[in-house]
Every structure is written in structure tokens, then in C-alpha cells.
Structure 1
Amino acid sequence: MRSSTFVATPGSASQWRIHLKLLGMAALWGGSWPAGRVLAQALPPLAVASWRFGIALVLLLAWLHATAGLRRLCGLSARQWGGLALAGAVGVFGYAVFFMLGLAQVPAGRAALVVTTNPVATTLLAAWWFGERLNRRIGVGMALATAGAWVVITHGQPLTLLTGGLGVGELLLLGCAACWVAYTLMGRRLLQGVDALTTTTVTAGLGMVLLLASALVFERPQALAAPLQAGAGIWAALFFLAAGATVLAYAWYFEGVSALGAGAASAYITLVPVFGVLFAAIGLGEQVDGSMAVGGALAVGGLAVMNLARRSPT
């Protein structure tokens, strides 16, 4: 899906500025992991996720209103509304629950590397369901990325997967990755004709409703009030996730897609786990052990090979 919100041309924005915004996008998404780790260890996870998407929804609605996008909601078909509801349940509610629960148990840097499985699974399923093209170089990239993620997930002991010794936190993060893959593929199948800004706004709203209901049932109303007693650092992390990683990063990504094309813009996503590990080390003092260094290098290298290979015919 491509947003019509931004139309960048050489006359309206120079190429270097677009590339800097895409770099900023990758940094914001990378920073979401240490920010989420701080929140997951301090507050009830469902309540935090409800606040995050509640704040983001207010900002997204303002953005949609500023671009006359609210009128587009009236033109959505029943099928599109159904697709948006399903995408909100999986891509926002499901993703947010696994994201917060996983980060409560796994260091942010390692978590950011675990989800390098996202593009591999998405590419394989898109080739199977939609007939998207694969080539040898994409296969090599997927193999490298998968091997790297495997090393990170198992803490450098790959045979752990065969003996059932995988940790609960890593399993939760794989659930997070599965939700994002499903959300991406749903967008391809069910949300044709819906622009990216409308999709992001509506799914954020629907997902927030599910998160709020779940928080009320499983964490009780007092959990939703917990952030009100939190300190400035917690609120800074919460607003970073809502305004930075959920709204501003999407704005910069959409602008990059409009100016450079989806392939060039999406290549910057390769840098997200790099920023995640870097910010977790700087901001949270997390250590980068050998399995993270080796596995991370393989995973990021594999993603880079995949992005480059999509432009190759063989």
C-alpha cells in the first residue's frame, strides 16, 4: 500500500534530505526496542500498549484530518472494513501484546535481532501465496538471515531448538514476528485500495480498543491509571513509542516511498536491528555477547543481500 499523503520531487525535497529521514525512520524503529523494554519492566504491559496506541491514534487522526483523509473513511467498502478489523486485531493488538510481554523477559538488543525473521517469513509466504519472484541471491540472503536469527535466539547454541530449550521470551518475540508477517500479508490480500495512512490510523484505533478491553479484564482498571503515577523517564519512553516510532517514523517512511520507491525505502529497514542493539547498549547498558555479534552480523548481512537481490533478475 502506498500513501498519497506525501509527494516528494527533486524540487520539493533534495535527495539527501529524504535519505536522512529514512535513516531517522530506522533509528526511531530501532529505538522502540529499548523504549519498550523500559516500559515493559515498569508498568503493566496491556495498559502501556493501550496508552501508546491511544496517544498515537490522536496524532494520526489529526494528521488524517489535515490531509482531508477523514472523508476517505466513508468510502471504504464492507470488505475493506473487515480487512482493517482483522489487521488491527493481528497487526496492532497481537503484535503489541507479544512485543510488551517479550520485552519483559528478553533484553532489547537481543529482541531487536530476533525479529529479523520478519522479512524472511514474509518473502517466503508472499512467494507461495502471491507468486512473488524469488531468485538465488534472495535465497542466499534468507539463509544468512535465518542462520543469524537462529544463533541470536539460541544464544549461540543452535541445537537448543531441537531439544526444546527455547526460552519463553524468545517464543513470545517469534509470536510478535508472526503477527507482523500476517499483518503485512493481510495488507496485500484484504486492503487493496486503502492508502497507508488510513490503514495505520484505523488499525491503530481498532487495536487500541482491543488492548483497552484486555487491560480492563486482565489487569483491572487501576492498571490503566499506573502511567499517571510514573516519572518523566517513563512518559518520555511512552511518547517516544507513540509519537516517534508509531507516527513520525511512518511519515518519513511514506515520504521515502513516494520519493525513492518502495524498494529503496524498505532497504533502510535493514538498519533497524543495528540501531536497536546500539541504543540498547548505550541507553540501557546491555552487553553485546558473541552470539549477538555473530548472529547479528549474519542476520543484517542476509537482509542486505535480500534487498539488493530483489533488483536482480537471477
Structure 2
Amino acid sequence: MRFSPRAQGLVAALVTVTIWTAFIVIARASAQRTLTPFDIAFLRIVGASLVLLPWGWWIVRHRTAAPAGTVATSSLAGLSPLPLRTTVQLGLFGGVVYALLAYSGFFYAPATHASVLMPGSLPLWTALLAALLLAERITPARATGLALIVAGDVLVGGRSLLAAFDGGDVWKGDLLFMGAASCWATYSVLARRHGVGAVHATIAITALACTVYVPMYALLAALQLAGSQLAQAPWSEILFQMVFQGVGSVVISGITFTRMIQHYGPVRSTMITALVPGLSAIGAVWLLGEPLHWNLGAGLLLVTLGIFFGVLGSRRSTTPPTPTAASGQTNA
């Protein structure tokens, strides 16, 4: 049974928004259980590696051999389909550092903050980096959207920074969320700059994370320097994190987002993913019992409006985003 392109695009959009929303809620819930941020990042990488590394090996082995004297088009013993320099750049920002910052943030700040400061601020960082590295013009409509996003972020994070004087730790999570968003934006812009497709980029960042982070984590855990709680966690929790964080957040959402881009285009896809901040905030309030203070609600509204203005700015831009550029924002 074959589905129509419209049905495939609709299913891809639903799956992408669902996984991106669930990522925020589940990551916060996971922070209140057994595993540490280092453990969750490890399980994310292992889960994704079980699927993507054989895929990358197959892609490299079935390529036409490069002529002698040319730059190698694969690296890491044939696990990454990209050159080593590109693999390292994408892997550090989109794989290792992003995961550590994002998961660490949930141990300090609630999911409602992550809803605004991660997917909400991603267009801000991406636009600024694209202007700096790709010489993209920021249109007046996009500038208005970025200003609204900044205002929303200040409403959310400003209260946490003020609470720091009373000994609160939420501001640490807010800064980690902003750092994670900036890392993912850097990965997205670098993927566009190198002209890398979503599948190859996702395989490359997983290959680097597996070859760099996994051995380092194993060594530090064996020496009891990483504060790992992996041995104390139940198998059900370990397997769930491997499946959802690795296979779901990395592999499935990467593929479905790319398929959504192919059907709806980058502008309409961005409008669809603008649902994520609101849905994840509602999920955090409903499922985790988190309070939705007035500043969070106002910040969420400003960020959502900012994303829509940014989409309008992209539509009127003389250099509209390509599917490759948009596919750089595949991961939760």
C-alpha cells in the first residue's frame, strides 16, 4: 500500500512535531529519575549509532571510488560519509556539545523554560550566524521577529537571573538551554555552508560522537570520575532512553523533518514547527505539573510571534533557505 505525497507529508509533519515536543517533556522527566546528563547523552549516542553507523558504512562502501589524489570523501574508518574536517565541525556542535548542554539544562530549569529558550531561540541564533557566516540579509520583517524572540527570552530568563541573587539555580539551566540552541544553530549553518544533506550530516555527527564521546565516557565512568548512575538505573529506563533519545530524536525525527521539507517547503515547515514551543509548554504544565507564570506565557507568545515574523522575512528574502539549510534543524 502506497501513500500519496500529501499523506506522507502530513504524517511526517505530525511525527516531527510530536517527537520534538515529547523530547522536551521527556528530557525534563528523565532529569528527575536516575540517570545523569552524561548518561543520557551516552545512551542517545549509542541508540543512534546502532542504526546510523551501519547505514553510514553501507553508504561509503557503495560509493564510486574517488580518483587518486583527491580529498577523501569519508572519514572515521568509513563510518562517516563526510570528510574528517566537516565531520569534526558538525559532530562537535550538533552531536557532543549540543547533547551535553541540552540534557544538563533540564537538571536545573523546568521544561516550560526549555520550550521557549531552545526551539524558540533557535531562529534567532540561526539568523545571526547565517548573516555572519553566509552573508544572508536580515529583512525588516525578520528583524522584527528576532526582536520579539529576544524580548520573549528576556521575559523568561530575566526572572531566573534575578532569582540567582536569592540562591536559585534555574538561571543555570536557562543559560545551558541558550547554549544548546546556539550550538544547534551553528551546526545548522555549517551544514548549509558545506552543502551537506540531512542524512549524511546526521550520520556524521553520530559517528564522531560515538568515536569521541563514548570511549571518553566509558573511561571516566570506569574511573568513577563522570558521576555515572548507569549501573543503578533499571534496564527499562536505559532501553527507553536508547530508543527514544537515540532512535526517535536523532534518526526518526531527522528523516521525517527532511520529508516534511520536501513536501511543504522550508517556509511552511518552519510555520509547522512553530507549534513546538506552545505544545511542549502545555505538555509540561499538564504532564509534569509545572506552573505557567505570567512571564512564561508572555515570553512564549512573543517567541511564537517572532518565529512567524521570521518566516515572513524568509519568504520575502532574496536568498530563501534551501532544503539542505532547513534540514540542518532536524534534531531534537
Relative to the length of structure 2, the TM-score reads 0.79
Distance 1:146 1:225, change over 3 A: closer
Hey, what does 2:325 align to over in structure 1? none
Larger RCO (CA within 8 A; separation ≥ 6) = 1
Which structure 2 segments of 5+ residues have no match?
Answer: 67-72, 76-81, 319-332
35, 38, 47: which one aligns with 1:43: 35
Secondary structure class of the residue paired with 1:211: helix
Deviation of 1:74 after TM superposition, in Å, equals 6.7
| Structure 2 Cα separation of the partners of residues 74 and 93 of structure 1 | 30
Hey, what does 1:33 align to over in structure 2? 24
97, 100, 103: which one aligns with 2:103: 100
Deviation of 1:263 after TM superposition, in Å, equals 2.7
Residues 90 and 204 in structure 2, CA contact (< 8 A), matched pair in contact too: no
Deviation of 1:140 after TM superposition, in Å, equals 0.8
210, 215, 218: which one aligns with 2:217: 215
Q: Which has the higher helix share?
A: 1
Residues 69 and 198 in structure 1, CA contact (< 8 A), matched pair in contact too: no
| Structure 2 Cα separation of the partners of residues 247 and 109 of structure 1 | 25
Structure 2 counterpart of 1:208, which letter? C
Hey, what does 1:200 align to over in structure 2? 202
Secondary structure class of the residue paired with 1:226: coil
Structure 1 counterpart of 2:23, which letter? S
Residues 93 and 208 in structure 1, CA contact (< 8 A), matched pair in contact too: no
Residues 144 and 301 in structure 1, CA contact (< 8 A), matched pair in contact too: yes
Deviation of 1:81 after TM superposition, in Å, equals 2.3
Deviation of 1:225 after TM superposition, in Å, equals 7.3
Secondary structure class of the residue paired with 1:167: helix
1:166-225 superposed Cα distances (whole Å, 9 cap, x missing partner): 822212222212211221122123x32x43211101211212333223423444467667
Relative to the length of structure 1, the TM-score reads 0.83
Which structure 1 segments of 5+ residues have no match?
Answer: 1-10
| Structure 2 Cα separation of the partners of residues 169 and 179 of structure 1 | 15
Q: Does 1:273 align with 2:277?
A: yes
278, 283, 286: which one aligns with 1:282: 286
| Structure 2 Cα separation of the partners of residues 168 and 74 of structure 1 | 48
Distance 1:227 1:253, change over 3 A: farther
Distance 1:159 1:48, change over 3 A: closer
Residues 92 and 208 in structure 1, CA contact (< 8 A), matched pair in contact too: no
Residues 261 and 269 in structure 2, CA contact (< 8 A), matched pair in contact too: yes
> Which stretch of the first structure deviates more once superposed, 238-247 or 209-218?
209-218
133, 141, 151: which one aligns with 1:137: 141
| Structure 1 Cα separation of the partners of residues 183 and 63 of structure 2 | 26
State the superposition RMSD in angstroms: 3.2
Structure 1 counterpart of 2:31, which letter? A
Paired residues, what number?
Answer: 300
Q: Does 1:71 align with 2:75?
A: no
Deviation of 1:44 after TM superposition, in Å, equals 2.2
| Structure 2 Cα separation of the partners of residues 179 and 123 of structure 1 | 13
